């Protein structure tokens, strides 16, 4: 039987997915319906609040107009606004009249404002007593909400006129109590909680959740593991409060509202789903055995191939399922092609790297074989430092390519026998960057870019091209630097004979910690002399002190400066 037919009859995935999607869609639909009902209730409540506040505003306006046209109060306010000799005495007189009006009318706050909106006198009810208030110490307003002594007040105002002249305005207000709204509400001011009528929830938690809610937009939030919906209610007569930074919002738990319906749906789907999934599971187990067993064998062989690096070859009778047999045969053909291609690629890769190194060394007869010797020295140092084989291979190839950028340097500059000018030295020092650019465009050579570009960086940051310091230069580049410098110092050049191994080590000890990594030098010194000494001990050689000061001597003796600098 073909795999497609077997899957069609025995798979339980469509049934399981159908159940999951059905439960998820129903749950989302119910949650959205609950949210919509909450929003509708909030809008209805907002309309009721607006109408109630409009009636209150109208009633307060009528009362205010009656108070505002009080001749005694008008005369006192006129004196208060114009008095210059005894303003405190007049203010106390106005406060007495306001206190009398507050007692009669039952208002909690009465305040007189001048035409510029500055409070001049006022009284406030506290602990059953009406006391004068200091207008300058409170954030009073003529309309909207304000907070004083930990209590929020809602105020409205009416102008005080004498004929056609406006003397000022009278603001009256009562305490703003959320308990009268018969639903969970929260009043905020500039993001902070002023009043909260949400039982069982710490106002600090609500304040943190509201930080992500716009003052005039509804939003959802998580509080104590539940989803809450908050809808702003300030509108109509309380619009001025929004401009003052206040926001009155509902706070209703969506999870609590939908819990009964969600519980019933969950029980229904669990009962039906358990029966269907159990049946599908039994059938799927029976059908999967004929599919999983041959695939498991294939996976097992593939995992074994990870250790050897050799792609396996599957036998033709691995499974009775036609698709799996086709898969195994196709893999066998692909593996054979990959093995052949890999062999060709490795051969081409080795030949290409060798050709690059040979082409570079062939440009200068005095540096022939330099790249291969540097590669051998660098590998010896890496082995002495017990680096893994993968790093050793990167260092081997990177050292062969370390001077690749000199392909981009003209022969007239590279082979110049005399000293170089400052511009010529700068041009020669571009070869690490040129080498990186060449290799960046070649796939598979990214591992060698650091060695090619950074093998002239110094331990103290005085090298080039980037002036990297310490371990910011990769270890592979620091190793190749020592190998490169050693071969340069111990090789004969047209402008000076090569140094002995002992002299080169003495130079290294002089510049360790400044130009080369002390750890790399320590590893270099452990290498057997017969492995790196190429017989330079018997050749004429310059002294250590002479080489260390050769840059100054180069001008006098006309030794090319860039050549000496490259060696050290």
Q: What is the pLDDT of residues 512-521, one digit of tens each?
A: 999 999 999 9
Q: Would you place residue 478 in the very low, low, confident or very high pLDDT band (cuts 50, 70, 90)?
A: very high
pTM of this structure: 0.42
Q: How far apart are CA 203 and CA 196, in angstroms?
A: 7
The last residue of one of the domains, among 150, 176, 202, is 176
pLDDT > 90? residue 161: no
pLDDT at res. 340: 79
Residues 370 and 491: beta-carbon distance below 8 Å: yes
279, 454, 500 from 472: Cα distances, Å: 62, 10, 31
- C-alpha 432: how far from chain center: 34
Coil, strand or helix at 250: strand
Does 232 fall in a domain? no
Q: How high does pLDDT run on average in the chain? A: 75
pLDDT of residue 350: 59
- Is residue 329 included in any domain, yes or no? no
Give me the pLDDT at residue 548, please. Answer: 40
Residue partners of 90: CB distance under 8 A and separation at least 6:
76, 79, 80, 83
Alpha helices for 421-500 (secondary structure H): 422-428, 431-440, 449-454, 475-490
482 versus 306: the higher-pLDDT residue is 482
Q: Show the tokens assigned to 385.
A: 């430092």
Whether 171 is in a domain gets the answer: yes
| 3-class DSSP state of 331 | helix
7 within 8 A of 327, measured Cβ to Cβ: no
Query: Is 75 a residue whose pLDDT tops 90?
Result: no
Is 230 part of any domain?
no
Torsion sign, CA atoms 431, 436, 442, 445: positive
Note the pLDDT of residue 63: 66
pLDDT band at 378 (very low <50, low <70, confident <90, very high): very high
- DSSP symbols for 100-129: HHHHHH--SEEEEE-TTS-EEEEEEEETTE
Confidence of residue 299 (pLDDT cuts 50, 70, 90): confident
Do the domain assignments include residue 149?
yes
CA distance 310 to 308: 5
More reliable by pLDDT, 74 or 369: 369
Alpha carbon distance 30, 17 (integer Å): 20
Domain carrying residue 526? 363-567
pLDDT band at 284 (very low <50, low <70, confident <90, very high): low
Higher-scoring residue by pLDDT: 28, 354: 28
The confidence score (pLDDT) of residue 405 equals: 86
Find out whether 394 and 476 touch, Cβ atoms under 8 Å: yes
Q: What is the pLDDT of residue 536?
A: 38
Give the confidence band of 559 by pLDDT, cuts at 50, 70, 90: very low
Q: Please give the distance of CA 143 from its chain centroid, rounded to a whole number.
A: 46
Residue 99: name the closest of 121, 127, 77, 69 by CA. Answer: 121
281-303 mean pLDDT: 68
State which of 119, 144, 176 marks the end of a domain. 176
Q: What is the pLDDT of residue 515?
A: 93
Long-range contacts of 561-568 (CB under 8 A, 24+ apart): 561/419, 561/420, 561/425, 562/420, 562/424, 562/425, 562/428, 562/429, 563/493, 563/495, 565/425, 566/456, 566/488, 567/485, 567/488, 567/489, 568/485, 568/489, 568/507, 568/511, 568/515
- What would the two tokens of residue 18 be? 């159908």
The alpha carbons of the chain give a radius of gyration, in whole angstroms, of 45
C-alpha distance from residue 166 to each of 81, 118, 170, 319, 523 (Å): 11, 14, 11, 101, 97
Tokens of 485: 């410098």
Number of domains in the chain: 2
Q: Return the percentage of the chain with pLDDT > 90, whole number.
A: 16
192-201, 211-220, 296-305, 442-451: which is most confident: 442-451
Residue with token string 């960057």: 433
Give the pLDDT confidence score for residue 554 in this predicted structure: 34
The CA distance from 413 to 416, in Å, is 5
Measured distance CA(125)–CA(131) in Å, rounded: 6
415-437 pLDDT tens trace? 777 788 888 888 889 999 998 99
Upstream peptide bond of 465 is cis (omega within 30 degrees of 0): yes
Predicted local distance difference test score (pLDDT) of residue 64 = 62
Residue 189 lies in a domain: no
Q: In this model, does residue 373 exceed pLDDT 70? A: yes
**Could you tell me the CATH number of the domain that includes residue 142?**
3.30.450.20
175/291: higher pLDDT:
175
| Domain boundary residue, one of 123, 154, 176 | 176
Q: 205 lies in a domain?
A: no
| Residue 524 placed within a domain | yes
> Tell me, what CATH number does 502's domain have?
1.10.3210.10
* Averaged pLDDT, 127-139: 78
Q: Is the pLDDT of residue 5 over 50?
A: yes
Residues 232-241 have a mean pLDDT of 60
Return the higher-pLDDT residue of 134 and 458: 458
Q: How far apart are CA 58 and CA 53, in angstroms?
A: 8
| Mean pLDDT (whole number) for 329-354 | 73
Residues 309-334 pLDDT 10s: 667 777 766 666 666 777 777 777 77
Q: Is the pLDDT of residue 544 over 60?
A: no
């Amino acid at each position: 039987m073909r795999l497609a037919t077997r899957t069609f009859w025995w798979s339980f995935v469509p049934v399981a997915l159908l159940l999951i999607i059905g439960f998820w869609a129903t749950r989302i639909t119910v949650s959205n319906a609950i949210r919509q009902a909450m929003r509708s209730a909030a809008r209805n409540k907002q309309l009721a609040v607006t109408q109630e506040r409009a009636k209150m505003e109208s009633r307060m306006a009528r009362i205010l107009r009656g108070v505002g046209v009080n001749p005694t109060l008008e005369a006192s306010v006129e004196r208060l606004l114009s008095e210059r000799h005894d303003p405190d005495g007049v203010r106390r007189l106005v406060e007495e009249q306001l206190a009398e009006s507050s007692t009669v009318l039952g208002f909690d706050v009465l305040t007189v404002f001048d035409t510029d909106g500055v409070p001049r006198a006022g009284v406030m009810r506290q602990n059953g007593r009406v006391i004068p208030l200091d207008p300058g110490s409170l954030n009073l307003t003529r309309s909207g909400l304000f907070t004083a002594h930990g209590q929020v007040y809602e105020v409205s105002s009416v102008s005080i006129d004498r004929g056609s002249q406006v003397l000022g305005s009278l603001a009256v207000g009562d305490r703003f109590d959320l308990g009268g709204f018969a639903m969970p509400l929260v009043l905020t001011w500039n993001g902070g909680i002023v009043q909260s009528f949400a039982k069982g929830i710490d106002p600090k938690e609500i304040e943190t959740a509201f930080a992500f809610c716009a003052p005039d937009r509804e939003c959802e939030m998580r509080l104590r593991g539940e989803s809450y919906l908050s809808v702003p209610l300030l509108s109509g007569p309380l619009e001025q409060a929004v401009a003052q930074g206040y926001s009155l919002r509902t706070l209703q738990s969506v999870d609590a509202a939908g819990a009964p319906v969600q519980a019933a749906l969950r029980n229904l789907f669990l009962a039906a789903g358990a029966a269907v999934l159990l049946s599908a599971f039994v059938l799927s187990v029976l059908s999967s055995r004929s599919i999983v067993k041959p695939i498991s064998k294939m996976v097992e062989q593939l995992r074994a191939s990870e250790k050897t690096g050799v792609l396996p070859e599957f036998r033709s009778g691995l499974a009775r399922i036609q698709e799996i047999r086709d898969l195994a045969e196709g893999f066998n053909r692909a593996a054979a092609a990959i093995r052949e291609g890999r062999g060709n690629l490795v051969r081409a890769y080795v030949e290409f790297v060798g050709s690059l190194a040979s082409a570079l060394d062939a440009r200068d007869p005095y540096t022939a074989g330099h790249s291969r010797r540097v590669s051998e020295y660098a590998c010896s140092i890496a082995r002495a430092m017990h680096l893994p084989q993968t790093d050793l291979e990167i260092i081997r190839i990177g050292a062969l390519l370390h001077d690749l950028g000199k392909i981009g340097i003209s022969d007239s500059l590279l082979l110049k026998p005399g000293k170089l000018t400052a511009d010529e030295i700068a041009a020669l020092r571009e070869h690490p960057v040129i080498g990186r650019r060449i290799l960046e465009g070649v796939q598979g050579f990214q591992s060698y870019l650091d060695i090619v570009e950074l093998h002239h960086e110094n331990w103290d940051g005085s090298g080039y091209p980037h002036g990297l310091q310490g371990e910011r230069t990769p270890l592979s580049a620091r190793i190749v630097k020592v190998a490169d410098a050693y071969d340069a110092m111990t090789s004969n050049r047209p402008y000076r004979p090569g140094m002995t191994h002992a002299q080169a080590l003495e130079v290294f000890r002089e510049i360790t910690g400044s130009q080369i990594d002390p750890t790399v030098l320590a590893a270099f010194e452990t290498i057997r002399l017969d492995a790196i000494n190429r017989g330079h001990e018997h050749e004429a050689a310059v002294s250590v002190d002479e080489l260390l000061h050769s840059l100054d001597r180069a001008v006098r003796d006309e030794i090319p400066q860039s050549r000496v600098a490259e060696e050290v």
